[in-house]
Amino acid sequence: MSDVSHLQRQVRQVSSQVSDVNSLVQRAQQQLTAVSVEVGGVAAAQKETQNELARLQAELHKYFRQAELAANLGRAETKFGNLQGEMEHTFGHHKRVRRTATGLLQAFDVGLVSEDTVRSIGEELMIDAPRYWLAPALVGLAAWSRDDQEVCARAIETAFGRSPSRTALFFTLILRRQGRLPSATRWLRHYLDSLSPSALGRDFAVILEAVAQGAFGAAARDLVRRKMSEWAEQLGNDDNATATQVARWREEIERYRGKSASDDFPKLSTLSPQWPDLDRALAGAASQQGLLDTYRAMMAEEPKPSARIEDAVDDILDRLVSEYDVEELPLKRQLDEQEAIIESHGDLDAAKQVAELQSAARDETLDYLTIQSTSALLPDQIGVSRATQRVAVSACEPWLREAHAQYTLEYRQQIPDDVRAKISSQLTFGSSAFKMQPWEGSFIQQMPDLERDLARHWDRAIDPFVQSLRFDWGKAAILPTVVLVSGFIFFAAVGAVVFGLIAALVGGAIWGGLIWMEGEQVEKTGLQAEAALKKAKAESLRQLRQAGAELTDWSTRFQTEDRKETDVRSMFDDLRRAGGGVQPFEQRSFAQN
């Protein structure tokens, strides 16, 4: 009985120890589960923190950008106000001369102002603006009206000394208005002789305006034709001058570039490394329609000439006497720069582009070729009508054609020879991370071949990862087997075979149950991971097919837009014919009154 009691005590002790081991194993399993959950939570928190930091960084950039724009806008508004005050203080008398000049010209027509009043006003303007060419010109005009040859000669000589070209043009237009064409032609010759084709004053645009309106008559037209032909040939042989004009027209074409089409092709723009080139090419091709719309509308528009030649001359004279003087241009340019910043809401880069485009129109001197381009591109800035703009565009047609050819070739060359798709994937399953090496395939291949290749790439990545998540039953059973067998051998050695056998069976059952629960959990995670990866694989295949379809749509849209290039080139031929030749003065002329 003592042996049996002793054996029972030993069994109870072993059972208690096995129970303690079971409790320890369960607590360890719970701790492992808790650690796994915490690791997953830490990973999620880390990702959320990174996203939050990215959002915060974007908001900071936006805030700093808004602050920068607001500061730029505030400084520009302050400078603009100061410059306006300086302009008024320094050149306000010029404005008065210009306003008075228009009134005096009208007074000569209607005869409502006495010669004494005209004389008084002219002398007062001469005192207010002693360096402004228009003031002595008006004095000379007043003296001419009362037949005071001595004062007229001195006044004209003074005005001519201050601005030979403007004075000559002013009296050319005045004499033409009075119907004295031979005298007007002589003054026109003085005007043309005073000019250099590489450094023309902005008032030369008035000549283009007068020619477009047919204001000079046949003799003057021949004179202008010869001079302009001479200038065009002289400057046309200068490769740098021609390249400059082509570059200006290239900037004009760039204005019609389309917007990014990323929203229209979401999968292609996401998957293809070549998308930036495709997007730029499509945006470039979209400019063809913009060119067609703009210049066809210009050709369809019928500029209405003045009913009487005097009205046309009046318009030209108004432009001449209302233009800024050379001395005013530096301040005016600064005003334009600050105004551009204000209109662009503080964006200095956008304002700089606008200011640079306006700079050519407000420059003190321009070459003949630039006058042509500026008349075509910025008619309001240089002070010419829509009729002159249309003629100038015709004269600039060779530069526009060359710029268009360069532009079209460039965006076509941006189309990549091989458009590819690049797909990668990274997923987390508990403490295990799946990372697939990027797959890249060419859309030159047929879509079924691409899909098979991508599917094989996924399988090569999925299979080893899923296998790594499988529970190794044999490895898990090694430790329990060694422990239980060793315990049985120990008890058998001390003569407690039955007890050893019972202990081994009980311990094996408990330990096996724990291993089975762990294995089930691992297998469940593996099955979930396999299902998620198969779903990701199917989604990537779907995205690949969608990207391929979008590439087809992109190609169709690009070809549709690009084919309009032929229409644009035909339109250029119409532009050249619309101008009646390469020179802007070869247009209709008015009959003399």
Written as tens digits, the pLDDT of the chain (593 aa) is 455 455 456 556 656 665 665 666 566 666 666 666 666 666 666 777 777 777 777 777 778 878 888 888 888 888 777 866 766 555 555 566 666 666 666 666 655 556 666 666 666 666 666 667 777 887 887 777 777 788 888 888 888 888 888 888 888 888 877 778 888 888 888 888 888 888 876 667 667 667 666 677 777 777 877 787 788 777 777 788 888 889 989 998 998 999 999 999 999 999 999 999 999 999 999 999 999 998 888 888 776 654 444 565 566 666 666 665 556 567 667 777 787 788 888 787 777 777 766 665 555 567 778 777 887 887 777 666 777 777 778 878 888 999 999 999 999 999 999 999 998 887 776 667 778 888 989 999 999 999 898 888 888 877 777 666 655 555 655 666 655 556 656 666 666 666 656 665 666 666 666 666 655 565 566 666 677 778 888 888 898 999 999 999 999 999 999 999 999 999 988 887 765 433 333 333 333 33
Q: What is the pLDDT of residue 589?
A: 33
Long-range contacts of 433-440 (CB under 8 A, 24+ apart): 434/461, 434/462, 434/465, 434/529, 434/533, 436/461, 437/461
Crossing angle of the two packed helices 368-377 and 204-212, in degrees rounded to 10: 60
The secondary structure element, H or E, covering residue 427 is strand 420-429
Q: Which residues neighbour 60 within 8 Å (Cβ) at sequence distance 6 or greater?
A: none
Crossing angle of the two packed helices 386-395 and 368-377, in degrees rounded to 10: 130
Question: Would you say 272 and 552 are in contact if contact means Cβ atoms under 8 Å apart?
Answer: no
Q: Cβ atoms within 10 A of the Cβ of 120, count?
A: 12
**Helix or strand or coil: residue 345?**
coil
- Tokens found for residue 116: 């004494």
Question: Would you say 295 and 317 are in contact if contact means Cβ atoms under 8 Å apart?
Answer: no
Q: What is the pLDDT of residue 372?
A: 77
Question: Would you say 582 and 232 are in contact if contact means Cβ atoms under 8 Å apart?
Answer: yes
**Helix or strand or coil: residue 422?**
strand
C-alpha 562/C-alpha 282 separation (Å) is: 8
Q: Which residues neighbour 450 within 8 Å (Cβ) at sequence distance 6 or greater?
A: 421, 441, 442, 443, 544, 548
Q: Which of 413, 448, 463, 429 is nearest to 532 (CA)?
A: 429
Q: Which of 588, 525, 178 is nearest to 387 (CA)?
A: 588
Q: What is the pLDDT of residue 546?
A: 92
Q: Which residues neighbour 260 within 8 Å (Cβ) at sequence distance 6 or greater?
A: 279, 283
Q: What is the pLDDT of residue 584?
A: 37
Q: Which of 54, 55, 40, 50 is nearest to 427 (CA)?
A: 40
- Global pTM value: 0.56
Expressed in percent and rounded to 5, the helix, strand and coil fractions of the chain are 80, 5, 15
Q: What is the pLDDT of residue 273?
A: 93
C-alpha 529/C-alpha 470 separation (Å) is: 11
Q: Which residues neighbour 543 within 8 Å (Cβ) at sequence distance 6 or greater?
A: 267, 270, 271, 423
Q: What residue has token string 């200038």?
A: 231
C-alpha 520/C-alpha 549 separation (Å) is: 44
- CA-based torsion, 35, 41, 47, 53: positive or negative: negative
Question: Would you say 173 and 317 are in contact if contact means Cβ atoms under 8 Å apart?
Answer: yes
Q: Which of 171, 168, 174, 172 is nearest to 220 (CA)?
A: 172
C-alpha 484/C-alpha 497 separation (Å) is: 13
Q: What is the pLDDT of residue 566?
A: 94
C-alpha 233/C-alpha 240 separation (Å) is: 14
Q: What is the pLDDT of residue 79?
A: 79
- Tokens found for residue 126: 């001469």
